[in-house]
Amino acid sequence: MRTQVGIVGAGPAGLMLSHLLHRAGIESIIIENRSREYCEARIRAGLIEQWARDMLVETGVGERMQREGIFHDGVKLRFGGALHRLDFVDLVGKGVTIYGQQEIVKDLINARLAAGTKILFEADDVSVHDFDGKKPKIRFTHEGKAQEIDCDFIGGCDGFHGVCRPSIPDGVLTTYDRDYPFGWLGILSESPPPDEELIYSYHERGFALYTMRSPVLARLYFQCAPDTDIESWSDAQIWEELHLRLGGARKLAEGKILQKGVTPMRSFVVEPMQRGRLFLAGDSAHIVPPTGAKGMNLAFADVRVLSRSLDAFYRTGKSELLDGYSQTVLPRVWKAQRFSWWMTQLLHRFPHESAFDRRRQLAELDYVATSRAASTTLAENYTGLPIE
C-alpha cells in the first residue's frame, strides 16, 4: 500500500489530522490497533475550546455538535461552602462547548469513511521504519496478513502508550514529567446534572467536578487515591462521597451509573515532537492532568499546525514549516501544561500539605473569584488561548 501520510492512531489527533489533510487534497491512511467499537466507546472529557468548536464547524464536522453540544458561557467554583460564578463571555467574549470526546470521534470516523479514507482497525504488531530517510514505512498485521504502507510522512497519533514515540532513537527526546499523588474516580449517570453549569468544588475531603453530557446525563468526578480499584467503591459509596463534596450547595439527583472508572493524573512532555519524517501529535507527545480538560484541544492544535505544514510542503516543496513544527506547537503545549497544573494544584488536596498550604489555596480561590484580573486569566486559558 502507498499513501502520502501514514497515520498511526484513530483517536482525535489521528482522525482530525486525516480530516484536515483531506481538505488540503492530501491522502492518508489510518492504522489503529483497537476496534472501531472500542474507539467510539472510549469515554474521555467532553469540553471543547471556542476555537476548536469553530474549527469543527468550519471544516464540516460540527453539525451534530452544534445540535447536541451544550454551549457554556461560564463555570462555577465552590469553596468555603459557597458557589462563585465566573462569566467567560463577560470576561473574554468566549465560551466552551460540552460534547463528549467519543461523540467527536464518531463524527470524525463517519466523515473519514464517507470521504473514502482507509481506516484499518484492529491492526496488530504495528511498527514504524525509515523515517530518517525520505521513504518511511509502517508495518503491521491486518486480518491475518503482514502488510506495509509506504508513505512520505508518518503522523504519530497513537497516544501515550503507542509505538511511535519509543521508535525514536535513544538520546533524541528530552522528557519532562510529573506524577500527582491522586487520581479521579469518574461516573456517567442517568440523572440530571446538579447545575446547568460545571461546578469545580474544593472540599476538605478532596476535589470534585460536576459536569454533564446532556440535561439528563451527569458526568461526575472526585479525587481519589491513585491506585484506587474501581470495584472497591460501591455505587452507594460513590453517591455518598459526591453528596458530601457538593456539600449541599446544590441538590444532586442520583441515577443509574452507566459507566465508571479511575483516571490517572500525569503531566508529561517530550521535546522535540519530531524526528526526520515522523511527527508526534496529541497524547503521544504530551499528557495533561484532566483538570480543565485540555487533552483533546491540545491534540487538535497540534494537528492543525502539522496539516498546514504538510500542505505547505506539498504545495511548495519547502520544508521550513515542517522543520519548525515542534517550535511552533510547544509554546502552546507548555501553556496548557502550566494551566492544567495550576488548576490541579489549586483545587486538590495533597498528602503532605500543611495548614499554610490550605490557607494559601483558599486565598487563591478567593482571589480568582473576586478579582477581575485573576478571573480573566482563568477564563482566557479555559476557553482556549489564541491559536497560532
Residue count, binding to ligand DHB (CB under 6 A): 12
Please measure the distance between the N-terminal and C-terminal CA atoms of the chain and give it in whole angstroms: 34
At 177, give phi and psi (nearest 5°): -150, 165
Per-residue binding string, ligand DHB, 195-214, x by CB under 6 A, is ---x----------x-x---
User: C-alpha grid cell for residue 30?
Assistant: 489510518
> Cβ of 71: how many Cβ atoms within 10 Å?
14
Cell numbers at 77, concatenated: 467554583
For ligand DHB, the closer of residues 98 and 346 by Cβ is 98
Residues pairing with 153 in the sheet: 5
Checking DSSP bridges between strand 153-156 and strand 278-280, what pairing results, if any?
parallel
Of 87-95, 231-239, 243-251, 286-294: span binding ligand DHB (CB under 6 A): 286-294
Is 219 a binding residue for ligand DHB by CB under 6 A? The answer is yes
Residue 191 sits in the site that holds ligand DHB (CB under 6 A): no
Residue 282 in the binding site for ligand DHB (CB under 6 A):
no
Q: Which part of the chain contacts ligand DHB (CB under 6 A), choosing from 45-53, 140-148, 153-161, 353-361?
A: 45-53
Say if residues 167 and 154 touch (Cβ distance below 8 Å). Answer: no
| 368 contributes a contact to ligand DHB by CB under 6 A | no
Exposure on the CB side of residue 281, measured as CA atoms within 13 A:
34
**Least distance between ligand DHB and beta carbon 257 (Å):** 15
Contact window for ligand DHB (CB under 6 A) among 44-52, 107-115, 311-319, 357-365: 44-52
Q: By CB under 6 A, is residue 86 in contact with ligand DHB? A: no
CB of 11 to ligand DHB, least distance (A): 16
The catalytic site residues sit at 72, 200, 290, 294, 382
Which residues ranging from 287 to 346 are in contact with ligand DHB (CB under 6 A)? 290-293
Q: Cβ-count burial of 174 within 10 angstroms (0-12 exposed, 13-18 middle, 19+ buried)?
A: exposed
Q: How far is the CB of 211 from ligand DHB (least distance, A)?
A: 4
Quote the longest CA-to-CA distance of the chain.
Answer: 62
How far apart CA 305 and CA 38 sit, in angstroms, is 28
d(CA 11, CA 40): 9
Per rule CB under 6 A, is residue 95 in the interface with ligand DHB? no
Residues of this chain that interact with ligand DHB (CB under 6 A) are: 45-47, 98, 198, 209, 211, 219, 290-293
